[in-house]
Amino acid sequence: MLKKIQKHSHARFEELGYPSKKLENWKFSSSKHLKKYDSSNSGKNISIDHCGDEYTLCFVNGQITLESLNKFIYKDDMNILDIDELNDETTCSTSSNFEKEALFHLGLSTIKSGKYFEFKQGSKFDTPIQILNFYSKKTEALRISSFNIFKLNDGNNISIVEKDVNEGSGSFNLSLNKFICADDTILNHSILYDDNTESNYLGYNYYELGRNVLLNIDSMNINSTFNKNFIEIDLNKEGSEVKINILNLARNQQHLDNNILMNHNAEHCISFQNVRNILDDQATCVFNGKVVVADGAQKTDSNQSNKNLLLSRNATAHSNPQLEIYADDVKCGHGSTTGALDKDSIFYLRARGIKESDANNILVKAFAKEILQEFVSDDIRNLSENNLSHWIDG
């Protein structure tokens, strides 16, 4: 199965080539600097002593380590296979939109292996699963690709916390994930990015939702040279709800890009996107969010919110919220604001004896915490608030 998929993806990448700025999804994000990275995934001879406890699945340069898999506490509640063992082609397929993405095919065609994780019916875990993506780059210009599939069955209540750890040289980390959520499931997916190796991250995350599914996606980016994340969600049956909360912090010349596509294919579904960016120096960000309400998807309730706080005159924010509606009984809205710190608020704080720098920090924290308080996990919220304080303090 995997070889067949990779053969197709190799042909598609050869046909499409690296994306140019003529494409809507790459209008404000250049891919030129990614061309220098070659594919040399290697996870051999790397110690995982620091890769976490029995709740952690550790991936080294895109490949899962057997040591972490063997001691994983939930392994008896899951079926774990190599993707190459799957016979159902629909399980491996993603969206028609990713089919148009050249770098999605580049990643798929160059993975060494991938894993399929299926949770047994009714499984509910009190402690979140931690996925640790460890990148060890002893040579320069590595492109590291990974592809994993997670399937939730009826009654599952699963929380996943995903973190990246980068060591060595900068690299191009190309991450592909598919999440299949059957009827009456809950998935909480938290993603934390913090990298100081000047690596480039490109993610394609696809979520396929059944009936009465609750999906929460919480993400915080504190330090990324180049971070572009595609999120696509198909709400295929009625009664499902999706909440996305993303906080991005960037300074220097860092570039962050969130590309979100919400497909309301069934009636009586709810979705909410809340993306906030705080930019300093010459940092740039992109929000490209789209909601498509299909014909017949009545009683849809969807909202998009993108707010950008610029701490420097040289920082740049691009915002493009979109609605595409083919049903007539819906409630949809979107909004976007970009601006600097409010001068009246700074004056108010300074009039009460607070230094200007401290007044600025108070307002930045208040802007960020409005979204952090929406994070589902208390642990992730507290960790994110600590990261926020460290970033503000430089």
Q: According to the per-residue pLDDT averaged within each range, which of 36-50, 90-104, 110-124, 298-312 is highest?
A: 298-312
Residue 7 has pLDDT above 80, yes or no: yes
Residues 358 and 327 in one domain: no
At 249-262, the pLDDT tens digits run: 999 999 999 999 99
Instruction: Give pLDDT, residue 265.
Output: 98
Q: Which helix (H) or strand (E) holds 3?
A: helix 2-16
Angle among Cα 28, 29, 32 to the nearest 5 degrees reads 130
Instruction: Give pLDDT, residue 46.
Output: 52
Q: Which residues pair with 256 in a beta bridge?
A: 227, 285
What percent of the chain shows pLDDT beyond 90? 79
Mean pLDDT for the stretch of residues 114-122: 95
Residue 242 has pLDDT above 80, yes or no: yes
Residue 155: phi, psi to the nearest 5? 85, 0
Q: Quick check: 229 and 200 in contact, CB under 8 A? A: no
Which burial class, exposed, middle or buried, applies to 117 when counting CB atoms under 10 A from its CB (0-12, 13-18, 19+)? buried
Residues 136 and 183 in one domain: yes
Radius of gyration of the chain (CA): 21
Residues 97 and 172 in one domain: yes
Q: Both ends of the chain: CA-CA distance in Å?
A: 48
Q: What confidence tier does 47 reach under pLDDT thresholds 50, 70, 90?
A: low
At 363-373, the pLDDT tens digits run: 999 999 999 99
At 310-345, the pLDDT tens digits run: 999 999 999 999 999 999 999 999 999 999 999 999
Residue of 285, 262, 264 lying closest to 275 (CA atoms): 285
Instruction: Give pLDDT, residue 105.
Output: 96
The residue segments making up the domain with residue 63 are 2-347
Residues 238 and 140 in one domain: yes
Instruction: Give pLDDT, residue 19.
Output: 96
Residues 322 and 377 in one domain: no
At 162-182, the pLDDT tens digits run: 999 888 888 999 999 999 999
Domain count, the chain: 2
Residue 43 has pLDDT above 60, yes or no: no
Residues 104 and 9 in one domain: yes
Supply the mean pLDDT for the chain.
93
How far apart are alpha carbons 58 and 239 in whole angstroms?
34
Residues 262 and 367 in one domain: no
Mean pLDDT for the stretch of residues 7-16: 94
Residues 58 and 151 in one domain: yes
In the chain, beta strands by DSSP E: 38-39, 56-60, 63-64, 78-82, 114-119, 129-137, 142-152, 157-168, 171-181, 186-194, 200-209, 214-223, 226-235, 241-250, 255-264, 270-279, 284-293, 301-310, 316-325, 331-339
pTM (predicted TM-score): 0.95
Here the tokens at position 375 are 């994070």
Residues 76 and 137 in one domain: yes
Residues 6 and 24 in one domain: yes
Count how many residues are written for the chain. 394
How far apart are alpha carbons 346 and 201 in whole angstroms?
36
Which burial class, exposed, middle or buried, applies to 72 when counting CB atoms under 10 A from its CB (0-12, 13-18, 19+)? buried
Mean pLDDT for the stretch of residues 130-155: 92
How far apart are alpha carbons 214 and 211 in whole angstroms?
9
Here the tokens at position 165 are 């750890």
SS3 12: helix
Q: What confidence tier does 50 reach under pLDDT thresholds 50, 70, 90?
A: low
Here the tokens at position 98 are 């990713």
Which burial class, exposed, middle or buried, applies to 342 when counting CB atoms under 10 A from its CB (0-12, 13-18, 19+)? exposed
Residues 291 and 184 in one domain: yes
Q: What confidence tier does 48 reach under pLDDT thresholds 50, 70, 90?
A: low
Residues 206 and 291 in one domain: yes
Here the tokens at position 185 are 């499931």
Mean pLDDT for the stretch of residues 3-11: 90
